[in-house]
Amino acid sequence: MSSVPPSKLVDAGPRVCVALDEAHGHLSVILVRAGCTAAVATEVASHLVDASASGVESHGIMRVLQYEDQFRTGYMRPDAVARIVQTPRGATEIDGGGGIGIPAMRLAVAHAVVQAKANAIAAVAVRNLGHTGRLGAYAETAAEAGCVVIIIGGGGRENWRQVAPYGGRRAVLPTNPYCLAAPGGDRGPVVADFATSMLAGGWLYAARSAGARLPEGALIDSEGQPSNDPADYFRGGAILPRGGPMGYGLAVMAEMICEAMLGPATTEVNWLILALDSTRHREEATRHAVAEQILAELRACPPVEGNAAVEVPGERERARRAAAQRDGLQIPERTWQQILARTMNE
């Protein structure tokens, strides 16, 4: 059994080793029973397994429990099909049809790459969809195609008041994530994928599912006092902004872009994708060589005590994915038992 990669889940209890194919099979069964087509179930299950394999438990297989509940309650439509639309003002949007956001975001990023290759730059909005999964997966694909991509999410505050503004003690904002990716050097794209809050919202659900606590400094309770108990969040607490005013400022900008500009969010949040064809600015071989020089210098930096090495954003996820494909997923036993119970529930 492989060692468990670092996680934001504190005291999550014992873990079990599950093969990727086994996990995928159980997730697909749950999603089909919830009303998804076989194709959507396969795509969503593959995305969640990949997120867990990449070490991003907040967006991994645990999410199938949330998705099934959201399909059952009507929050998301299992039969929705995403489509490309043109607005009366000439903008390109992906309408998710109120369904799960994973197929819609994959379509949106792929369309943005095609348009960027044709026109040097592209902007695509994504609306009317549920949870989109791990943004880094889509952005990495775009960067592998030679594009610089920026993904911004925001809006939907009425349903997703999760994060306190800087200096506040009540949840007002969503976690408003950003993802940036660019073609890198010898080891692949550079990918920075982060919430503007100290934690992505999925870590709260992952911690509750696993019976775990969360790192210090991430949460406050309903009285504004520090907490590491996910139950305090669900009792009226809030996540703190990442980096204080920096995360707060980015979150506010996401609201300006994704709600003030794009309009009211339905189902979950709105998204804006910007894609730039990197080859319009520099010959690819030169860009690659310079990128590798920059990244090699970062990796060569001596690490502080307790840290094995300096890492480049995106490379950790690829290394973990390779290990998981070899050794299987290390899943909190309590979470895996919940998934098994849903699979066997007729």
Q: Are residues 27 and 143 in the same domain?
A: no
The answer to whether residues 135 and 252 belong to one domain is yes
Cα–Cα distance between 159 and 201 in angstroms, integer? 13
Domain final residue, candidates 186, 207, 240: 240
CA distance linking residue 128 with residue 116, whole number of Å:
23
For residue 346, what pLDDT is reported? Answer: 53
Do the beta carbons of residue 102 and residue 132 sit within 8 Å? yes
Count of C-beta atoms within a 10 Å radius of residue 285: 8
Do residues 134 and 260 share a domain? yes
Residues 31-62: tens digit of each pLDDT: 999 999 999 999 999 999 999 999 998 899 99
Claim to verify: residue 117 and residue 185 sit in the same structural domain: yes
* Total length of the chain: 346
Residue 4's pLDDT band, with cuts at 50, 70 and 90, is very low
Spatial CB neighbours of 94, under 8 Å, sequence gap ≥ 6 = 82, 83, 84, 85, 104, 105, 107, 108, 111, 124, 125, 126, 127, 129
Rounded distance between C-alpha atoms, residue 327 and residue 2, angstroms: 6
Q: Is 133 part of any domain?
A: yes
Residue 11 pLDDT > 90, yes or no?
no
Rounded mean pLDDT, 110-118:
98
CATH number at residue 336: 1.10.1530.10
CATH code: domain of residue 142 = 3.30.1370.60
Could you tell me if 52 and 184 lie in one domain?
no
Cβ proximity of 191 and 270 under 8 Å: no
Final residue before a domain boundary, out of 240, 271, 293: 240
- Pairing, β 178-185 against β 329-332: unpaired
Considering the domain boundaries, does residue 4 fall inside one? no
Q: Do residue 133 and residue 213 come from a single domain?
A: no
Judgement on whether residues 131 and 143 belong to the same structural domain of the protein: yes
Are both 188 and 265 inside the same structural domain?
yes
The total of structural domains in the chain comes to 3
Query: Are residues 262 and 218 located together in one domain of the fold?
Result: no
Q: Does residue 305 belong to any structural domain of this protein?
A: no
How far apart, in whole angstroms, are the C-alpha atoms of residue 332 and residue 5? Answer: 12
Nearest to 203 by CA among 1, 12, 2: 12
Q: Whole-number mean pLDDT of the chain? A: 94
Q: Are residues 97 and 169 in the same domain?
A: yes
Domain that residue 136 falls in: 80-196+247-281
Of the candidates 201, 219, 253, 263, the residue with the CA atom closest to the CA atom of residue 59: 201
pLDDT level of residue 8 (50, 70, 90 thresholds): confident
User: Is the residue at 149 inside a domain?
Assistant: yes
pLDDT over 70 (residue 154): yes
pLDDT score of 200: 85
Structural domain contains residue 211: yes
Q: Are residues 103 and 142 in the same domain?
A: yes
